[in-house]
Amino acid sequence: MLPRELRGCCNENSLLDFSKIEIPAMDVIWSDLNLWIAAANIAFNPLFWNMVARWEFRTKKLSQTFGSPKVACSVLAVTIIVLGVIRDYRFNEALNSQPRWKMLHQNWILLLGYLYITVGSVLVLCSFFALGFFGTFLGDYFGMLMDEKVTGFPFNLMDNPMYWGSTLNFLGTALVKASPAGILLTCFVAVCYKIAIFFEWPFTEKIYQERDEGKKVI
């Protein structure tokens, strides 16, 4: 049997008073307009390019307006790039106007953030080079189909590496800035991309299926 003083060490005579342990608050200022503008930009971008690309696929209006599918797709690409720059700017503005979380002020988290940004950038850039300019910017919807499915790096690691690389960039930035709001916005980015993939993937598959069926008929 343990001595009385040892039996009481984890009860009434405990040296640790867990009621006095404080966990730093994960503060998010919900009334901050920058937060909601950033969220709106994040949601708008994939909605915009999916709606415009599908409209073009069905009507060919952009190709008719600009004289060729390549020019029309290039105009859409420039628009997507500009919207992406605006989105990234609004994301950083939201992080700068939000509180920082003390628990994230650690060197290893800072290094992890830079690692995520590096890996994310590699995934995005390698995806771009693997797909090419028109393959990246929805050329399929303009009738510029690829000869075969891209299976090289980074597509041999995961599906939609450009989307997930971009998500890692957002997460890395949030960690570098020790921003809980940034982490929440990154989760929202992932949700928006997942929804975009849900609609894009079957539609793109349908485009190539119709192309292949047309070849068989010929």
Q: What does the pLDDT look like over 89-105, one tens digit per residue?
A: 999 999 999 999 989 99
173 assigned binding-site residue: no
Token pair of 218, please?
Answer: 């010929």
Check residue 149 and give its pLDDT. 82
Check residue 211 and give its pLDDT. 75
Domain that holds residue 173: 31-200
Determine the 3-state secondary structure of 1 from DSSP: coil
pLDDT at 6 over 50: no
In a domain, 7, yes or no: no
8 assigned binding-site residue: no
In a domain, 80, yes or no: yes
Reported confidence tier of residue 8, pLDDT bands at 50, 70, 90:
very low
118 assigned binding-site residue: yes
Angle, CA of 28, 34 and 36, to the nearest 5°: 75
Average pLDDT, the chain: 88
108 assigned binding-site residue: no
Whole-model pTM: value is 0.84
Considering its fold, how many domains does the chain have in total?
Answer: 1
Reported confidence tier of residue 4, pLDDT bands at 50, 70, 90:
very low
In a domain, 161, yes or no: yes
3-state secondary structure 144-191: CCCCCCCCCCCCCCCCCHHHHHHHHHHHHHHHHCCCHHHHHHHHHHHH
More confident residue, 124 or 150: 124
In a domain, 185, yes or no: yes
Check residue 1 and give its pLDDT. 47
What mean pLDDT is predicted for residues 201-209?
84
What mean pLDDT is predicted for residues 39-67?
97
In a domain, 170, yes or no: yes
201 assigned binding-site residue: yes
What mean pLDDT is predicted for residues 32-51?
97
In a domain, 55, yes or no: yes
In a domain, 215, yes or no: no
In a domain, 23, yes or no: no
